[in-house]
Chains A and B, each alone.
Chain A
Amino acid sequence: SAVISQKPSRDICQRGTSLTIQCQVDSQVTMMFWYRQQPGQSLTLIATANQGSEATYESGFVIDKFPISRPNLTFSTLTVSNMSPEDSSIYLCSVVQAGGRETQYFGPGTRLLVL
């Protein structure tokens, strides 16, 4: 299984600012994803982080608001830009491991509160 760490684990931010969340995996993985889990709601896929190219965003999510980087097979960042209180959520990094049975592994999440 893949072990995923995220930084920061939580943060409180002022509206209008930006926060970058890091996701580090202990092994090379084929796919990395970023999810959002708003209070009382299910997990919503934000985007697939593609190594060496632009991320693939889901409907309702745009690069200007959620820029994503993935410089290699074990690391990715998600930036939440120009934050508003509506961005308060848990942000989850998830991976599918190379050669695995397409099992998804999840990071511990980053709990973000925007004031």
Chain B
Amino acid sequence: AQRVTQPEKLLSVFKGAPVELKCNYSYSGSPELFWYVQYSRQRLQLLLRHISRESIKGFTADLNKGETSFHLKKPFAQEEDSAMYYCALSPNSGGYQKVTFGTGTKLQVIP
């Protein structure tokens, strides 16, 4: 069974401080990992996926298979980063596979 754990329900940081949103996963194969974000009064949207190796809005995430982690990082937090962040996992076995979401972490950036 696949599982995604986000240990922090709320993370508060000051503007300009580094941000790290933790995500650990449990899956026996090689999964595909995602971060989704939901800004206030907006719909859930994809922020980034590990296979793209992109930096979106200054955020990056590296898949660490040894630690089964996919932490989301940003060196300098901005007020507009305040949102709900969900880590998600999909079995990487070709075609679309069911996505499992973590419980989410609310990021609060303090001005």
Contact = CB atoms under 8 A, between A and B. Distances in A.
Interface of A: 4, 30-31, 41-43, 45, 48, 92, 96, 102-109
A43 B90 contact: no
A103 B86 contact: no
Given A31-B96, A96-B96, A102-B90, A42 B43 contact: no
19 contacts: A4-B43, A30-B96, A31-B96, A41-B103, A42-B101, A42-B102, A42-B104, A43-B44, A43-B86, A43-B101, A45-B99, A96-B96, A102-B95, A103-B46, A105-B46, A106-B43, A106-B44, A106-B45, A109-B43
Interface string B16-50: 00000000000000000000000000011110010
A48 B86 CA distance: 21
Contacts of A104: 46, 99
Interface of B: 43-46, 49, 86, 90, 95-99, 101-104
Given A31-B96, A102-B90, A102-B96, A42 B46 contact: no
A43 B46 CA distance: 14
Nearest to A48: B98
Contacts of B46: 103-105
Nearest to B102: A42
Contacts of B101: 42-43
A19 to B, nearest CB: 20
A31 B97 CA distance: 10
A55 to B, nearest CB: 14
B9 to A, nearest CB: 8
A107 B42 CA distance: 10
A31 B44 CA distance: 17
Contact of B44 (A30, A41, A92, A96): A92
A43 B98 CA distance: 12
Nearest to A92: B44
A60 B46 CA distance: 27
A108 B43 contact: yes
